Chains A and B, each alone.
Chain A
Amino acid sequence: MAEVDPAPRGTDGEPLLTVEDLRVHFHTDAGVVKAVDGVSFDIHPGETVALVGESGSGKSVTGMSLLGLLPKPAAQIPTGQILWRGTDLVPASEAQMRKIRGQEISMIFQDAMTSLNPVMTVGKQIVEMIRLHLDVTRRQARARAVEMLDAVGIPEARKRVEMYPHEFSGGMRQRAMIAMAIACDPQLIIADEPTTALDVTVQAQVLEVLADVQQRTGAAMILITHDLGVVAGVADRVMVMYAGRLVESAATDPVFYDARHPYTLGLMASLPRIDVDDVVIGSDVDLRSGRRLKPIEGQPPSLLHPPPGCSFHPRCDLADIGGACTEEVPALRRVAIGHTAACHFADDLEARAAAVGTADAIDLVHAAPVVEGPTA
């Protein structure tokens, strides 16, 4: 059983959401795909947790399973608990889930263009949500819809309420989705790649809106993304997923500057960084001693037939093939206060790198040096 460390921030004790050993299996013609393979974590009120991983890591599936939005016959949850304020959502009935959706937990999706009904006005879609959960008149609901659009920074909200999604620009659409998601004051917002479909400049604006919204409503947020840049600016805590499992979980700074899992290290090494000393770019820098970007070799594993032991071992420079790494699935263990990692060598990566001795291994471990980095 994995040790899950409580969040380090000053919170009021009880977590809002506790996920305990969640597994999600997809039954396909070719076999069972283990999209989520034993994931456990807590979310506390008001905090922003980033769920990071590449395509196929299981992060979106995890998000969808929280709201029971997985396709019913194909997807099954064989074991695991999703405790929302004490109640397990896994065995909950549709009726119970419907009460929670939108009102206590709401979700923001990636592509606002396809996620909003093209033949209904934006206002109507928000009002529908409001009237579903709150006992208000149509007029009151409409007023609140306008209020929400205003709150997310959409100009001329009163006019915009009557417009169709395709009449909004990309960033505006996403803001409208956010407005819809907060209309009933949920306590947890799950944002599934909210900025991926947007231009970089617009991304920043939307993230600001999200942060603002959180501050105002005090809601917690799970930010699902593959973009580490987004994570750095916004998240309190980061959880890294790989091949359906959590491989590292810590506050944002430790993840960026003191990663304890080779995958996370690999991610950090593959990013251009301006916040770490040895990557300063300037005319007086000896380019040979400048750090090169180091991609992670290989491809993500098949979730139909995952590799034995640690699912990252085929791509890991520190792997002990034939030993622990191929025999035993590493458990998510505590490596520091509020920092867990699922690697057999998480306690002393340096030693392991030295033992392996290859340039790659040493490079990897030194890629994200323990430096007093500037604050994000």
Chain B
Amino acid sequence: MLGFTIRRLAQAVPVIFCAISLLFFLFYVLPGDPVTILSGGTGRNVPEVTRQNIEQKYGFDKSIPEQFATYWGNVATGDLGDSLRDDQPVWDKVKQFAPNSIRLAFWALVLEAFFGIGIGMVSAVKRYSVIDTVTTLLSTIAMAIPVFVSGYLIIYVFGITAFQRGWPEWIRFPTGRTPENWAFFFFPADEESFRRLVPPAVALALIQIAVVARMTRTTMLETINTDYVRTARAKGLTERSVVFKHGLRNALIPVVTLIGLDFGTLIGSAVLTETVFSYNGLGSQIVRAAQFRDAPVVLGLTLVVVIAYLVVNLIVDLSYGVLDPRIRYDD
């Protein structure tokens, strides 16, 4: 297993390198003059001196390969550069925004696992019943509704109407600010923070709940029809034992891997949710930086996101071996 891990890590390095380099070339090589943007935008006459100063400060006067080498040289020592917009070190931005993304992804995951697996199982066990038909229908629909539609729906109902119509306290969820107080990193420390966390977490989780529910249903149905479940019945086990002891364990393996992989994806891809709910996470920051051609921020934050994604992938692959004794790592 150790060999497997090392090999995977070794494989990941060139992927990360190539991915971030790809972005690098997009920003530095292709059309668009960062100097102009930095000095106030097009349409203004920029004095040559100012231009030269900016170029020197940010290293734009050097050739592209040199800039490339400098950049990676810096990264190797842990220096991700400074933002072109506000001069803040990119690493500081990482420390500021990454925790929020991790927390949001975590809670979306919890919801996704709990509701997704639960609904999927009920659906599978009560196959063809009304519950099953309804949930399958709802999950196909929920899967397809974009998060910036469902998000605003949630905001409108629980954040606006709830206040306008004077609904009871417990159902009012104000939105628009990031939760601020946390306990043990993951848990909102006060009511305000809790209420600010719920809407984005739910909106983010909604689509995935549907996906997980559908997958759970499929895998459960598959396992219920396997030969070894038939053997379990032939042994005289109750239907409940058969489903839970024999079917579930096998059925959940692919589902758990899916949920694990989601964690990696959600950290960097919750852009839309973050924008809708004004939640300060990595995703929305990357987008904002991209709009301003703030290359160091885009590259730095994306680097963090990609590394997180690959690490989570690796962990999921390793845990697969724990869950399924048939997996061997020596090939």
Consider the complex of A and B and state whether they touch directly, i.e. have CB atoms less than 8 Å apart: yes
Given known A-B contacts A115-B228, A118-B250, A128 and B325 have beta carbons under 8 A apart: no
Known: A99-B236, A102-B235. A114 touches B325 (CB 8 A): no
Which among A106, A117, A128, A166 is the interface contact of B234 at CB below 8 angstroms? A106
Judge whether B326 is part of the interface by a CB distance below 8 angstroms: yes
User: In the complex where A109-B230, A114-B226, A117-B228 touch, is A100 in contact with B236 (Cβ < 8 A)?
Assistant: yes
- Candidates B228, B234, B237, B245; contact of A118 at CB < 8 Å: B228
Residue of A nearest to B234 (CB): A107
Contact with B249, one of A107, A116, A119, A133 (Cβ below 8 angstroms): A119
Q: Judging by beta carbons under 8 Å apart, are A115 and B231 in contact? A: yes
Contacts of A292 in B (CB 8 A): none
A69 near B: Cβ within 8 Å? Answer: yes
Report yes or no: B237 in contact with A114, Cβ–Cβ below 8 A: no
Which residue of chain A has its CB nearest to the CB of B128?
A: A73
Return chain B residues, CB-CB under 8 Å to A109.
Answer: 227, 230-231, 234
Those of A74-127 within 8 Å (CB) of chain B? 94, 97-103, 106-107, 109, 111, 114-120
CA A97 – CA B236 in complex, angstroms? 7
Of A118, A132, A166, the residue contacting B235 (CB under 8 A) is: A132
- Asked if A148 is an interface residue, CB under 8 A from chain B, the answer is no
Flag if B326 contacts A133 (CB, 8 Å): no
Tell me the residues in window 292-340 of chain A with beta carbons closer than 8 Å to chain B beta carbons: none
Q: Mark B213-248, 1 if CB is under 8 A from A, else 0.
A: 000000000000011101111111111000001100
A240 within 8 A of B: no
A11 CB to closest chain B CB, in angstroms? 26
Contact of B236 among A101, A164, A166 (CB under 8 A): A101
Report the minimum CB–CB distance from B75 to chain A (whole Å): 43
Asked if B227 contacts A129 (CB within 8 A), the reply is no
Please pick, from B228, B237, B250, B326, the residue contacting A128 in the complex, using a CB distance under 8 A: B237
A118-B325, A119-B249 known; A133 vs B227 contact (CB < 8 Å): no
User: Which chain B residues lie closer than 8 Å to A265 at the CB level?
Assistant: none
Residues on B with C-beta less than 8 A from A100 are 236
A-B contact pairs, 18 of them (CB 8 A): A69-B233, A97-B236, A98-B238, A101-B235, A109-B227, A109-B230, A109-B231, A115-B231, A116-B231, A117-B246, A118-B228, A118-B326, A119-B325, A132-B237, A133-B236, A164-B325, A164-B326, A166-B325
Shortest 4 CB-CB contacts between residues of A and residues of B: A101-B236, A102-B236, A114-B227, A102-B235
Q: Which B residues are within 8 Å of any A CB, using their own CB?
A: 226-228, 230-239, 245-246, 249-250, 253, 323-326
Given A119-B250, A128-B245, A129-B236, 4 extra CB contacts under 8 A? A115-B228, A115-B230, A115-B231, A117-B228
